[in-house]
Structure 1
Amino acid sequence: MIEDLLLTDLTVELPKAVRLQRLVSALQAEFHCGAVVLLQLEEDALRPVAACGLVREALGRRFIVAQHPRLAAILARRDLTSFSHDSTLPDPYDGLLENHAGAPMPVHDCMGISLYVESRLWGVLTLDALQVNTFDQPARDAVRRCTAVVEAAIRVTRIEQQIHALRLNRQADPVPGKAADSGADAEIIGQSGALTALLQELDVVADSSLPVLLLGETGVGKELFARRLHRLSPRRNHPLIHVNCAALPESLAESELFGHAKGAFSGATTERPGRFEAADGGTLFLDEVGELPLSVQAKLLRALQNGEIQRLGADHPRQVDVRIIAATNRQLQAEVSAGHFRADLYHRLSVYPVPIPPLRERDHDVLLLAGHFLELNRTRLGLRSLRLSPEAEQALLAYRWPGNIRELEHVVSRAAIKIISKGAQRSDIVTLGAELLDLDLNGLATEPAAQHAAASSEHPTAPMALPVLPGLTSAVRPLRDVMDDCQRRCIEHALQAAQGNWTQAARQLDVDASNLHKLARRLGLKA
């Protein structure tokens, strides 16, 4: 019997993903289903944690309960909920069925049941059969009997996670139905080996107070990993303060970080604490730390060494207890060699360096992330269903993603808007073909917006993806010199097009005007 098979798995130590996947696979075979999905409730949305019969990118989607009446109906009852083949309620899996991708769900039987762990609502189990009358009364009774075993499997995985957390001297999320990664923190989506290994490493280092240096290309989501480190640390109940060092005007950087006394400079009419004091007892996340001016780097080093800061214009230092997490997409060792970054500060920040893998090294995570962005755009645009064609999936897997996750988000969003502007009906199942993604599989997107996606937010002064510029020699040169030449020529071209107007030039280059002035001074274009 199916219950015996499911119970056997409970006696074996298995990874969570494997245990739950074996569970839905067994249910699919037993009940002759086209799709079986196990979804966990996370605040107002259901997240698939295991599925059989759906396209791969469906695991990256989040189904907002209020937008899916079938899922809402299942959650509202403790007993099994069935939907007849002629039900008018929209099916959440329309267009996502593995063997009918891009088409409406065929006339079928559908049922689901809410799941409870420790008497609290955990999520739902849904079953869809493509043949009408598959789910007769004996089948429904069998699903009811299986529910206790399914809930037991979920409970076992929770206990195993709690044991793992205790080994790390950390409390696991104790509340069923509430995700550990929910709330203000965006979710880290993926199942690749590279991501799994990284998260395991972060779980260990989070419990210490060591400074962590997050290294990675622009667009890989360094802020999400910083938030995870803080959330899993003993400082979780204290503030996490985010500072974008690239956006700090050089003249105000010291005041922003360390605060200032009344009268320290023109306009300082009151005392003001800085970000270090705001983060006291918690974590300070220094994003794009390589952009800090050398003058501020010296004071940052003092804070790291002694836990001591001094407000600008103040006479006495102050003690703070702050853990530093820094992030950069620059090669700081090269910056040290070039004299742009202090060697002693670099060694203090990089006590524990953590390289974040680029999207191209994360196997099929690109499809799960695409599914996440597809669902966001489906909701935003009011579509019945939004999915990828098989050709589009292959294009996403083949592309190199120089702008990483941020570029993927822009590509999916732009394609969704394009297909609607071309006349797609919101009541249809809308399929994005490979041609709508505008990807050049040699590695660069064909549209300027995708070329610049990586530089638009996380590191405004980073060099854009550009073709080889005339005048550059083919001889081997230091990488920084080549990058500086590219940036210098881009700024000169933008200034020429803007007739010398720096604000217009900054807008054309999609960078902050103050950062453009700072970069121009470094490149010798401005006094």
Structure 2
Amino acid sequence: MQGLRQPHESTLSETAETNYDRDFSAPQRFAPALVVLWSHDEPERVGEVVVLPPTARGMSFTLGRAVESYEDGSLPLTLRRLRPFSSEDRGPFQSARVSRWQIRITVEQGDELAIEGIGKGELRINDQPTRGAAVVPGDTIEAVGRFVLQATRRPLDWPRPGGWPDPFPFGAADRFGLVGESPAAWLLRQQILFLAQRDGHVLVEGPSGAGKELVVRALHAASARGARPLIARNAATIPERLSDAELFGNLKDYPSPGTPDRSGLFGDADRSSLFLDEIGELSETLQASLLRVMDSGEYQRLGDSSMRATDVRILAATNRQPGELKHDFLARFLHRVRVPGFGERPEDVVLVARHLLRGFAARDSTLAERFFVNGEPALGARLVVALARHRFTAHTRELTELLWRAVATSSGSLLDLPADFVARPTTPAPAPASSDSTDPRELSREQIVAALARVGGVRDRAWRELGLRSRDQLKRLLKKHDIT
């Protein structure tokens, strides 16, 4: 019988005096983790995690419904809603579909985890059937018909002392519309609050569709300038021959009679923020024309004999490499923020998808009636796994288009993967353990010693050499045969 134990704490915390006003360049230590992407009966679990102690190398844990250890002593894990400043224990899975001990997790080297299916049903890793395989961050683990997880990482210092100034529900959009519970998403939020409270122009970098405009609007809204409207213009649409008038304005009747008086973008944005999107499209001549006003706030309207002053903070965005900007223009941006694409936070893709679908349903009640259950969008596991493993190039824009295709092609009440979907996987499928993997009871001491010799004593290679399902099986055999 299994010994009754308390569920193992699924996160570690090394306390540190940190808050959202932190040094973003400071290195962080991480622990391997698994995050819930989908649950058949418990959709509210999406985003919850189990964090594996990196100091527990070689130890085994289980995830399922049980709060007792497995027959081999593997400790049960509980799911948590983990954030930089809070940790809520949510207990194990509750659904009767999930076995008491559904999967066994063994901590390997670095971020690697060995996953074995020990409960009912099929196990799939990176959408490939297997009895067990090693996973690294980005890999998906599916207990078919039960839940989908993704291997990831969490900072060891979560949760930290302190709190968050703008609480919002777990997994939902914050007040600026940003969605995500990953370390990358939270770092972005921390940078926004840090920079919103400071002066200096800001360059927001990131791939197309990653949410740069959302970040710019958040920087403005959270700042002391947020009470005034944000003035926005796509820099690519400013014609060079009319750039001075567009940017700085002109007197009435200048340069020709009948020309109306214009304050220009810098006049309109006085005591506010000026958002220049696609700043990388500005010519070097136009970049040079902005240097003085960026330094001192001084500029001159066309036809005006005197200088004017404006108090403007420029918030610029680009998907180009910053080095493509004129070097003295780039130097005027005291701060930079990089918006991560989905490739840097794949675990957030499903949360973003759920948020987008709620937006669809808010504008179209027929979608809410068809594809929502108790306020939660009904996503199929195939779609979730595909989203988690897909290499997005246009990020939120591409995800939005894919979700609309799923809505259009799904025949039932479950949003399924479109038949014409072309996958661009971020990670290769693992080499799964074969269904006729070696029975450890059939291995002799001599066979084990010989396998160790062939791989130079490296145990992480030896268990695969022997055809075992995990490093944990080898560990038990070494103990049984007194092999050191």
Q: TM-score, normalised by structure 2?
A: 0.51
**In 2, Cα distance between the equivalents of 1:407 and 1:200?**
26
In structure 1, the residue matched to 2:393 is 402
Q: CA deviation at 1:273?
A: 0.8
Give the one of 336, 353, 364 matched to 2:347: 364
Once the two structures are superposed, residues 290-342 of structure 1 have per-residue CA deviations (whole angstroms, 9 ceiling, x without a partner) of 11133322221110111112112322221000111111111131x2xxxxx42
Q: Is the 8 A contact 1:373 1:413 kept in 2?
A: no
User: What are the Cα deviations for residues 249-302 of structure 1, in whole angstroms up to 9, with x where unaligned?
Assistant: 333333222112223345762111111111111111111111113332222111
The separation in 2 between residues aligned to 1:180 and 1:221, in whole angstroms, is 13
- Counterpart in the other structure of 1:414: 405
CA distance in structure 1 between the aligned counterparts of 2:179 and 2:94, rounded to whole angstroms: 21
The aligned counterpart of 1:385 is: 370
Q: Deviations over 1:372-400 (max 9, x none)?
A: 12222334441213232101100000001
Supply the distance in 2 between the matched residues of 1:100 and 1:213 (Cα, whole angstroms): 50
- Counterparts of 1:190-205 in structure 2, within 5 Å, are 190-205=180-195
State how 1:213-252 maps to structure 2 within 5 Å: 213-252=203-242
Aligned to 2:285: 295
Matches within 5 A, 1:347-496: 347-349=331-333, 351-381=334-364, 382-383=366-367, 384-386=369-371, 387-419=378-410, 424=411, 430-436=413-419, 438-442=421-425
As a proportion of its length, which structure holds more helix? 1
Q: What percent of counterpart residues are identical? A: 36
1:57 touches 1:371 (CA, 8 Å); kept in 2? no
Partner of 1:53: 42
Q: Secondary structure at the match of 1:219?
A: coil
Aligned residue type for 1:439 = V
* 2: CA distance, partners of 1:437 / 1:57: 26
Give how far 1:347 is off: 0.7
C-alpha deviations, 1:382-435, integer Å up to 9, x for none? 12132321011000000011111111111112321334xxxx4xxxx6222223
Q: Compared with structure 1, are the counterparts of its residues 400 and 268 closer, same or farther at alpha carbon in structure 2 (3 Å cutoff)?
A: farther
Secondary structure in structure 2 of the residue aligned to 1:327: strand
Secondary structure in structure 2 of the residue aligned to 1:430 = coil
The residue correspondences of 1:278-357 to structure 2 (distance < 5 A) are 278-333=268-323, 335=324, 341-349=325-333, 351-357=334-340
Quick one: structure 1 residues 280 and 246, their matched pair in 2 at CA, closer, same or farther if it must change by over 3 Å?
same
Distance (whole Å) between structure 2 residues aligned to residue 206 and residue 180 of structure 1 = 19
CA contact (8 A) 2:173 2:355 kept: no
Letter in 2 for 1:345: F
Runs of 4+ in 1 over 6 A off after TM superposition: none
Q: Which residue of 2 aligns with 1:256?
A: 246
* Corresponding letter in the other structure for 1:300: L
Shift of 1:180: 10
Aligned mates of 1:243, 1:291 — CA distance in 2? 12
Contact 1:213 1:325 in 2 (8 A): yes
User: Per chain length, whose mean CA-contact separation is higher, i.e. which structure has more relative contact order (CA < 8 Å, sep 6+)?
Assistant: 2
Deviations 1:187-239, CA, capped at 9 Å, x for gaps: 11111111101211221121111211111001011111111111221222223
Amino acid at match of 1:432: L
Q: Which runs of 5+ in 1 are unaligned?
A: 1-12, 17-51, 60-96, 102-156, 166-171, 336-340, 444-527
Distance in structure 2 (CA, Å) of the matches to 1:100 and 1:371: 24
Residues 402 and 317 of structure 1: CA distance in aligned 2, closer, same or farther (over 3 Å) = same
Distance between the aligned counterparts of 2:278 and 2:338, measured in 1? 14
Q: How many residues align?
A: 274
2:272 partner letter: G
Shift of 1:57: 5.6
Structure 1 distance, partners of 2:405, 2:284, is 40
RMSD: 3.5
- 1:160 Cα deviation from its structure 2 partner: 6.0
SS in 1 for 2:315: strand
1:355 maps to a residue whose letter is: R
Q: Distance in 1 between matches of 2:314 and 2:96?
A: 50
The TM-score with structure 1 as length reference comes to 0.47
List alignment gaps of at least 5 residues for structure 2: 1-14, 20-40, 49-92, 98-158, 372-377, 427-484
